[in-house]
Amino acid sequence: MQPMQPMQPMQPMQPMQPMAPVPQAPTGYKGNIFVPGQISGGGGGSGSGEGMDAVAADAVAKVQQMAAGMALNYMMPGGSNQNLETSIAAGANQLTGAAASFTGSRLAVLRYYFDVNNAYVLKKLQILLLPFRHNEWERMADGTSLRPPSQDPNAPDLYLPLMSLVTYILVAGFVSGADGRFTPEVLASTASTGLAIVLLEVILIKLGLYLLQSEGGTVPMLELASCSGYKFVAAVIVLLTKTVGGTLAGYVAIALAGLSVGTFMTKTIQQCLVQGSGYAHGFIMADGMGSPGRSERRKKQFYSLLVIGLLQPLFFWYLSLV
């Protein structure tokens, strides 16, 4: 029996090569659909996610465009969009016409309140400063339309209130500069104070007439703002008088200005109320005519306007504190 051959030593096993990693789908990939905004930039640099987002956004836009086209083809027989385009053009023309009409009507209203001339301005200043010498407060009319300020000195305007407000702001800045107290904020605070007083006064008048259940709701807001804004003409005079003549002269000017402007506002707004409650050109409804409560209601209106007139000295005193 032959002796057994010695066994050969086993060769060491070669280490297994690591398997290549299986490429992973980027985050946000759902089957065949990329979800915009959810793709990470791992492995492909920072631009890969942005590229996926751009592709997805473009795909969504194309789908939306295709869906819109399919809807139009479904709604329009034969796939013709001519009728739809005609309807869209007609609607656009209607919207343009409505906007032009709206803008034109608003501009026409403003044009009415700025239709002034030199004769009107001089006459209006005379009525404002000396209302006791003015006897005819009735507005002039051509048929059913009231005449503009250039043809009627009793018509309200926005030119004088606006110019007097600007003048008051400049005079207040001059007075502050003369005292060494001028800063740019003085002009802004003066303008805001003047506008706030006008707004407060208009709200008080409207509220008072509403609580009295009068026809005051028919008085346009611009007319009330115009009537209230006339006080800046007298405010300029009060401020200059107080600066030049001293405190005592300023108080005298405040009293006279309050009396003049208060009378002017009472007469003017009362005439507006008469026109809003059965007014006809050449005819003013007398007490006792019409409904039984008309006379009592007009008395309440007069007392409410008298309160507004009595508040004018307080407004002028506040406006003089520059």
d(CA 219, CA 304): 15
Task: Kindly report, residue by residue over 76-103, the tens digit of the pLDDT.
Answer: 554 445 555 565 556 555 555 555 554 5
**Contact present, 18 and 29 (Cβ < 8 Å):** no
Report how far Cα 115 is from the mean position of its chain's Cα atoms. 23
* 253 and 238 Cβ atoms separated by less than 8 Å: yes
Alpha carbon distance, N-terminus to C-terminus of the chain: 137
> Are residues 118 and 124 in contact, defined by beta-carbon separation less than 8 angstroms?
no
pLDDT digits (tens, 9 = 90+) for 232-278: 999 999 999 999 999 999 999 999 999 999 999 988 888 777 655 43
Per-residue DSSP letters for 223-282?
Answer: HHHHHHHTHHHHHHHHHHHHHHH-HHHHHHHHHHHHHHHHHHHHHHHHHHHHHTTT-BTT
pTM for this prediction: 0.63
Q: What is the pLDDT of residue 163?
A: 96
Q: Distance between CA atoms of 193 and 169, rounded to whole angstroms? A: 10
- Cα 213 to Cα 224: distance, rounded to the nearest angstrom: 18
153-173: pLDDT as tens digits: 999 999 999 999 999 999 999
